[in-house]
Chains A and B, each alone.
Chain A
Amino acid sequence: MSNILSLTTFLPILGVLLLLFIPKESKGVLRNVTLAVTVVTFLVSLLIISGFQTNAEFQFVENRPWIAAGPFIMHYNIGIDGISLWLVILTTFIMPISVLSTYTAVEEKVKEYMICLLLLETGMLGAFISLDLFLFYIFWEVMLIPMYFMIGIWGGKNKIYAAVKFFIYTMVGSLLMLVALVFLYFKGIQAGITDFSLLHFFSLKLDMATQIWLFLAFAFAFAIKVPMFPLHTWLPDAHTEAPTAGSVILAAVLLKMGTYGYVRFAMPLFPDAAHKFAPLIATLAVIGIIYAALVAMVQEDVKKLVAYSSVAHLGFVMLGVFAFNVEGITGGMLQMLNHGVSTGALFLIVGFIYERRHTRLITDFGGLSKQMPIFATVFMIVTFSSVGLPGTNGFVGEFLILIGAFESELRWWTVVATSGVILSAVYMLWVFQRVMFGELDNPKNQKLTDLNAREIAIMVPIIILIFVMGLYPKPIIDKMDPAIKKLVAQVRPASFAVRSAPAAIPAAPVALPAGHSEAQMPVGQPGAAPMPAGHSEAPPAAPTAKTH
C-alpha cells in the first residue's frame, strides 16, 4: 500500500515491456493488452482514493535518494494531496477510454501507438505526483515526447507543422522553467536547502525582485501549456491534427499540467509575485474566455471549435485560481476535472463522426439526429455539460469560480467572464444545431450508423460522471478542501503585505516569514482560522466603489 503511487505510475511502463514481446501484426492483442493495462492502472488508482485521508498533508509519500551530482541533489520524492489526487484519478480514468477509442481509428503502427500512449500515461502521472522539482521537470519533459510523436506520426494532413509547433512552443516554456529551476535551486542552497524538494522550497524566503523573475519564468511555461491567450495558437493546430486519443488526452490531462503548475508551484513558491501579477493573469484569462468563444463561434471545423472552447474553459480555471480564495480555487480544480471529462468527451464525439465520414467540416453534416439517435442524446448531454448547465458537472466548477472571483479583487473581471456563459451557449448550440438538426439531405450522411457497443461503452462512464459530479460533487470537494485551504493560507499572508503597503517591496521580506512558517505548520488550523478575517478584510472599500 505504501508504494501504491509508484505502482500506479509505473504500471504503464510494465505494460510497455509487455507490448515489446507481442508481434506487430497482432493488432487485436496489442489493443487488448494496452486496454487491460490501463484498466488495471485505473483500478489500482482507486485504491489511492480509498486510502486517502481527508487532510492537507501529502500522502503516500516516498522519498529516496536518486541523483547526487556535485551540488545537485535530486530525490525520488513523490506524494499526493487533495489537489493532485483527483488529477491522478482523472488521468487513470481517461486512459482506458482513450485506448478504447483507438480500436478502429488507428490501423497503422499500432504497437508504437500503444507504447506512446502508455509512456504518456506514466509521464502525466509522474508529473502530478512529483514533490521534487527536478523529478517534476523530468516527467514534464517525458510527456512531451510521446505526444509529439502521436501528432507527428498519426496526425492529419498538416501533422508535421502541428507537431513541430507544439514542440517548439512547449520547449520554449520548458527551457525557461529549467533556467528558473536551477536559479531557484541556487537561491535555496544559499538559504541552506540541500535538495530539490518542493516542501523545502515552500519555506524559502525570496525577495520581491527574485520572486517576480522566477514567477514570470514559471508562469510563462505554464501559460503556454494551459494555454493562455495569446500563447494559445499551438492548441487548435495540435488538436485538429492529433488523432482522437491524442486530442482527448491533450485536452483532458496535458492542459491541466499548466493550471496544476500554477496551483502547485508558481503560486505557493512565489506568492507575492503571484499576487502582483494576478490582475494581469486575470485579464488574459478573461480575454481568453471571450476571445476563444468568439473565435470558436465562427469555426468551420468541429474539432477546431472544440479546441477553442478549451481555451475558454481554461480561462475560467485561471480566473478561479487567481481569486486566491477557497471557492475560486475549488472551482478551478473542479473545472479542470470537468473540462477533462466534458471536452475529452467532445473530442471523442468528433472522433466518432470523423471515423465514419472522414470529414470534420460542419457544413458536411446536418440532420444526424434522425440517423443517429443515441449519438444525438450523448452529444446533447455532453454539449450541455460543456455549456455548464446546472445539474451537470460544468456548472459546479464554473459557478464556484465565478462566485469566488466575485468575492475577491477580481470583481469586474468576473462580470466580463460571466458573459462567457452566453457565448458558450451560442457556439455550442449552434454547432449542435448545424450538425444534428435540420434535413438529412447529404446522401453520405443517410448511410451513417449509430454508435456501436464499444462506442457506447466509452461514453457511458463519462455521462455518469457528468451527472454525479454535477449533482453530488461533495465527496470530491471534501477530499480536496483541506489542501486548498492550506494553499489559500500559504498564498494569503503575503498578499496583505502587498495590499496594505502598495509600495512595500522592501517591506515584503519582513512580512514574509510569518506567512511562510504558517505554511509549514500542520494542516487545518491555518486554513480555518484566518478565513473570516480575510474576508472581512477585503470588502469594506469595495461597496463604496460600487455605489458611485
Chain B
Amino acid sequence: MFDNVWLIPFFPLIGFLFLGLFGKKIKNEAVIGGIGTLMIFLSFLVSCGILMQMIGLPPEQRVFEKVMFPWIHSGNFKADMAFLVDPLSVVMIMVVTGVGSLIHLYSIGYMHGEEGFYRFFAYLNLFCMSMLLLVLGNNMLVMFIGWEGVGLCSYLLIGYYFHKKSAGDAAKKAFVMNRVGDFGFLIGLFTLYWWFGSNHNIWTVNFTEIKAASHLLPYGGVVTVATLCFFLGATGKSAQLPLFTWLPDAMEGPTPVSALIHAATMVTAGVYMIGRMSFVFIKSPETMMVVAVVGAATAIFAATIGTAQNDIKRVLAYSTVSQLGFMFLAMGVGAFSAGIFHLMTHAFFKACLFLGSGSVIHSMHHALHKIHAHDDAQDMRNMGGLKAAMPITFITFLVSTIAIAGIPGFSGFFSKDEILWMAFANPYHGGLNIVLWGIGAIAACFTAFYMFRLVFMTFFGECRINPKAKSYLHESPLTITIPLMVLGFLAVVGGYLGMPKLMGMLPNYFEHWLDPVFEQANHYGAKYAHAGAHPSHALEWGLMGLSVLVAVVGIGIAFTMYVKNRELPGKFVATFPALHRAVFNKWYVDELYDYLFVNPCKAFGRFLWKGFDVVVVDGVVNGVANVVMGFGGIFRFMQSGYIYNYAASMVLGVVVILGYYIFK
C-alpha cells in the first residue's frame, strides 16, 4: 500500500485536469461535483489503506520514502519528486482527504447554480493535490511546490467571484502576504542547505537526511537564523502576527473554501512545517521562544478582534487565526504532538463551524433573494432565532462551538487543555511559562465569549431578518447537512484519541502515534531543558479546572450580554467608543501596513521611474545624443545617412586603433 502513495495526490490531479479541460462542456452539476468529490474520496480510501498498513507495523518501521522521478539535479543540488510516509504525514493526509471529501460533497449543494461550477471543483481538486504534495513531500522543495501551490489555489478561490473588486483585492493580498512568508522559507532553506554543505559536505534538502544529520547542528547560532526564516514562512501561510491580515479578507471566497483552505488545511501548513522540522527548530531555544510568544500573542490579539465583528464568517476567520496561535504556542513550548492534535481537532470543529455558517448564509441568502431584499446575508445583526428553522445546522454548530470553547468531553477541550498545560509545565521557557499560560487562558476565555456571542446572535432570540423573508428560511439539503453531521460527530469524539494521561481512562493514542516523529526533537530539547520539580497531579487538575472555569465565564458573559440583557453591548460601545472602534477596525493593522509598506513602495517606484529613469539616465542619454547631433551637424556634409555614418565611424575606429599600434 505504501507504494501507492503517489495515488493520493494523483487522483485530485486527474480531477483537476479533467474538470479544467472538459468541465465547461459538462452541463450536469451532479456529474461535475460527483467527479470532483469522487477523486478526493479515492485519495481518502488510499490514505485509509496506508493508515491501516502503518498501524500494523512496529513504530520504528513506520517510515517509507517513494521516489517518483528526479526533478532538479544540478551541481551539488538534488531534489526529487518524492514522497515521505510517516505517522505525521499520515495524520495530515487523513485530515486533508477526509475533511476534503466532506467539503467537496458539501460544495455540490452549496455551489448549486453558481456560474463556473466546474471551475470551482477544478480549483478545489487542484488545491487538494497541492496540499497533499505539501504534506507528503520528502524534501523541502516538494513541500515548497505544495506550499506555493496551495497559495495559488487560495488566490484562485478567494478571487472566485472575481467581478467583485473586494474579492480581487483579497486574493492578491493573500498571495502577496504568503510570498513574504515564502521569502523567509527560501532563505531558511538556503541557510540550512548551505550550512550542512559547506561544513559537512552534506548537500541535501531531504527531510530524512537532514534528520539523520541533525546532531551536527549547533544549538542556536545559524540554526536560529534558519528557523526564524522558516518561521516567517509559517506566519505567512498560517496567518500569524505580523502577516495575519490576509486571512479575514480571504472570507471573500465561497464558504466551502473558507472551511477547507482557511480553517482545516492550508493555514495549518505552517504548524505542520514546524512539526516536520521539529528536530531543527528545537535546536534553537531562541526560535522556540519566538514561536511560543508569537503564537500566544496572535491567539489573544485575534480573539479580541473576534469579539467585535458582525460578519459571521469574519468572526470565524479571527477565531481561526486565534486557534492557529494556540497551535504555534504548542509548537513553541515543545509540545509538538499537542500542536498537531489541536490541528486535527480544530480541522473538525472549525470546518463544521464554517460549513454551518455557510448553511446559515445559504438559507439567509435564499430567503432574502426570494423577497428581492439586499440585506447582508452574512451580517449576524440580520439573523437571530434560526435554531427553529435550521435544527441540524443549529445542533452541529452548537456542538462544535462547545468543542472550541473547551468544555470537557468535547474534542477541543482535550487538545486545548493539553496545550495550556504544556505552556505552563514545559521545561524550556522558565519564567515565561506562566505568562504564556496566562495569555493562553485569557484567549480561551475570549474564545468562549465570541463563539457563544455568535451562537446567541445567530440562533437565539427573536428573528431579526426581514419579516417577509422569514417564511422562506429552511434547513439546507442533505449534501450540506451530511457533512455537518459527520464533522459535528468528529468534533465531539475526535478528542478521545488523545486523552491526557492524567485522566487515565484511555491511553493517549495520538501522542504515541507521533512519538517516533518527535522523539528526536524531544531528545535534543532535553539538552537544555531545565530539570525543575515535576508539577504535581493536583496542580494539573487545578489548572484544568481553571481552564474550564474561564471557558464557562466567557460563555456566561456572552449569555448575559446577548441573551439576558441585550442592551449591554450597546452600552459598552457607548462607554468605550474608542476601544470599540479600534477593535472593530482590527486595531488598524491594515492601515498601518498601507502606511508603512504599500504606499511608500508605490511612491518610490514612481519616483524611480519618473525621477531616475526618465530624468537621470535618459537625461544623460539624450544629452549625449544632443552633443553627438551637434557634431553630426558639423560633419553632416560628409555623410548621407545614419547607417553610413555608423559604417564610417566603425572604419574610423578601426583605423585609429590600427594606427595606434603601428606607430606606437
- Given A233-B617, A540-B198, A542-B198, is A327 in contact with B76 using a C-beta cutoff of 8 Å? yes
A500 to chain B, nearest CB (A): 17
The CA of A471 and the CA of B172, in the complex, are separated in Å by: 25
B72 touches A425 (CB 8 A): no
- Given A175-B653, A183-B657, A430-B172, is A370 in contact with B163 using a C-beta cutoff of 8 Å? yes
B621 touches A543 (CB 8 A): no
A406 touches B190 (CB 8 A): yes
The CA of A400 and the CA of B628, in the complex, are separated in Å by: 43
Contact of A230 with B by CB under 8 A: yes
The CA of A426 and the CA of B182, in the complex, are separated in Å by: 13
B180 to chain A: closest residue by CB = A422
Would you list which residues of chain A between 385 and 418 have a CB under 8 Å from chain B? Answer: 389-391, 395-396, 399-400, 402-404, 406-407, 411, 414-415, 418
A46 to chain B, nearest CB (A): 23
- The 8 Å CB contact of A171, one of B148, B175, B601, B646, is B646
Contact of A325 with B by CB under 8 A: yes
Known: A230-B612, A422-B179, A433-B171. 13 other contacts (CB 8 A): A165-B621, A168-B625, A233-B613, A295-B609, A325-B75, A326-B75, A327-B74, A389-B149, A389-B152, A403-B189, A425-B179, A474-B70, A532-B201
Which chain B residues lie closer than 8 Å to A407 at the CB level? 76, 193-194, 197-198
A437 touches B163 (CB 8 A): yes
A200 to chain B, nearest CB (A): 20
A45 to chain B, nearest CB (A): 24
Which chain B residues lie closer than 8 Å to A438 at the CB level? 162-165, 168
Contact of A76 with B by CB under 8 A: no
The CA of A367 and the CA of B608, in the complex, are separated in Å by: 30
Contact of B545 with A by CB under 8 A: no
Q: What are 19 inter-chain pairs, A to B, with CB distance below 8 A?
A: A164-B642, A178-B653, A179-B657, A298-B605, A326-B75, A327-B75, A367-B162, A370-B163, A384-B152, A391-B149, A402-B190, A414-B190, A429-B175, A436-B162, A437-B163, A471-B81, A532-B201, A535-B76, A543-B198
Which chain B residues lie closer than 8 Å to A202 at the CB level? none
Sorted nearest first, the 4 A-B pairs with minimum C-beta distance are A539-B198, A326-B75, A294-B605, A437-B168
A266 to chain B, nearest CB (A): 20
Which chain A residues lie closer than 8 Å to B529 at the CB level? none
Would you list which residues of chain A between 273 and 309 have a CB under 8 Å from chain B? Answer: 291, 294-299
Contact of A34 with B by CB under 8 A: no
Would you list which residues of chain A between 464 and 492 have a CB under 8 Å from chain B? Answer: 471-474, 477, 481
Interface residues on B, range: 35 or more
Interface string of B57-90 (1 = CB under 8 A from A): 0000000000001111111110001000000000
Which chain B residues lie closer than 8 Å to A535 at the CB level? 76, 197-198, 201
- The 8 Å CB contact of B225, one of A167, A406, A477, A546, is A546
Which chain A residues lie closer than 8 Å to B70 at the CB level? 474
Contact of B606 with A by CB under 8 A: yes
B179 touches A390 (CB 8 A): no
Interface string of A349-390 (1 = CB under 8 A from B): 000000000000000000101100100000000001000011
A375 to chain B, nearest CB (A): 14
Contact of B549 with A by CB under 8 A: no
B75 to chain A: closest residue by CB = A326
Contact of B618 with A by CB under 8 A: yes
B221 to chain A: closest residue by CB = A547
B72 to chain A: closest residue by CB = A396
B190 touches A547 (CB 8 A): no
Question: What is the number of contacts between chain A and chain B, taking CB atoms within 8 Å?
Answer: 197
Interface string of B611-644 (1 = CB under 8 A from A): 0110011100100010010000000000000110
B163 touches A439 (CB 8 A): yes
A446 to chain B, nearest CB (A): 13
The CA of A367 and the CA of B621, in the complex, are separated in Å by: 39
A233 touches B172 (CB 8 A): no
B397 to chain A, nearest CB (A): 33
B186 to chain A: closest residue by CB = A418
Contact of B654 with A by CB under 8 A: yes
Contact of B513 with A by CB under 8 A: no
A183 to chain B: closest residue by CB = B657
Contact of B159 with A by CB under 8 A: yes
Interface residues in chain B, defined as those with a beta carbon under 8 Å from any beta carbon in chain A: 24, 69-77, 81, 141, 144-145, 147-149, 152, 155, 159, 162-165, 167-169, 171-172, 175-176, 179-180, 182-183, 186-187, 189-191, 193-195, 197-199, 201, 221-222, 225, 601-602, 604-606, 608-609, 612-613, 616-618, 621, 625, 628, 642-643, 646, 649-650, 653-654, 657-658, 661
Interface size in chain A (residues, C-beta < 8 A): 81
Which chain B residues lie closer than 8 Å to A440 at the CB level? 163
Which chain A residues lie closer than 8 Å to B222 at the CB level? 543, 546-547
Would you list which residues of chain A between 167 and 201 have a CB under 8 Å from chain B? Answer: 167-169, 171, 175, 178-179, 182-183, 186
Would you list which residues of chain A between 221 and 248 have a CB under 8 Å from chain B? Answer: 230, 232-234, 236
The CA of A477 and the CA of B602, in the complex, are separated in Å by: 38
Which chain B residues lie closer than 8 Å to A369 at the CB level? 162
B269 to chain A, nearest CB (A): 14
B638 to chain A, nearest CB (A): 18
The CA of A55 and the CA of B164, in the complex, are separated in Å by: 55
B72 touches A473 (CB 8 A): yes
Interface residues in chain A, defined as those with a beta carbon under 8 Å from any beta carbon in chain B: 145, 164-165, 167-169, 171, 175, 178-179, 182-183, 186, 230, 232-234, 236, 291, 294-299, 325-327, 330-331, 367, 369-370, 373, 384, 389-391, 395-396, 399-400, 402-404, 406-407, 411, 414-415, 418-419, 421-422, 425-426, 429-430, 433, 436-440, 471-474, 477, 481, 531-532, 535-536, 538-540, 542-543, 546-547
Which chain A residues lie closer than 8 Å to B175 at the CB level? 425, 429
Which chain A residues lie closer than 8 Å to B162 at the CB level? 367, 369, 436-438
Which chain B residues lie closer than 8 Å to A415 at the CB level? 187
A477 touches B73 (CB 8 A): yes
Which chain A residues lie closer than 8 Å to B642 at the CB level? 164, 167
B602 to chain A: closest residue by CB = A298
B189 to chain A: closest residue by CB = A403
- The 8 Å CB contact of A295, one of B76, B169, B172, B608, is B608
B199 touches A539 (CB 8 A): yes
Which chain B residues lie closer than 8 Å to A546 at the CB level? 221-222, 225
B174 to chain A: closest residue by CB = A429
B77, B145, B601, B657 pick with most chain A CB within 10 angstroms? B77
Which chain B residues lie closer than 8 Å to A477 at the CB level? 72-74
A180 to chain B: closest residue by CB = B657
Which chain B residues lie closer than 8 Å to A296 at the CB level? 605
B172 touches A422 (CB 8 A): no
The CA of A299 and the CA of B183, in the complex, are separated in Å by: 24
B79 to chain A: closest residue by CB = A399
B332 to chain A, nearest CB (A): 22
A292 to chain B, nearest CB (A): 9
- Given A175-B653, A179-B653, is A399 in contact with B72 using a C-beta cutoff of 8 Å? yes
B172 touches A429 (CB 8 A): yes
A473 to chain B, nearest CB (A): 6
A542 to chain B: closest residue by CB = B198
A330 touches B163 (CB 8 A): no
B74 to chain A, nearest CB (A): 4
The CA of A197 and the CA of B190, in the complex, are separated in Å by: 40
- Given A295-B613, A477-B74, A481-B74, is A178 in contact with B155 using a C-beta cutoff of 8 Å? no
The CA of A166 and the CA of B148, in the complex, are separated in Å by: 38
Which chain A residues lie closer than 8 Å to B649 at the CB level? 175
A241 to chain B, nearest CB (A): 14
The CA of A367 and the CA of B159, in the complex, are separated in Å by: 12
B420 to chain A, nearest CB (A): 35
A175, A437, A532 pick with most chain B CB within 10 angstroms? A437
B179 touches A291 (CB 8 A): no
A423 to chain B: closest residue by CB = B601
A421 touches B182 (CB 8 A): yes
The CA of A531 and the CA of B77, in the complex, are separated in Å by: 12
B130 to chain A: closest residue by CB = A391
B74 to chain A: closest residue by CB = A330
B646 touches A403 (CB 8 A): no
A467 to chain B, nearest CB (A): 11
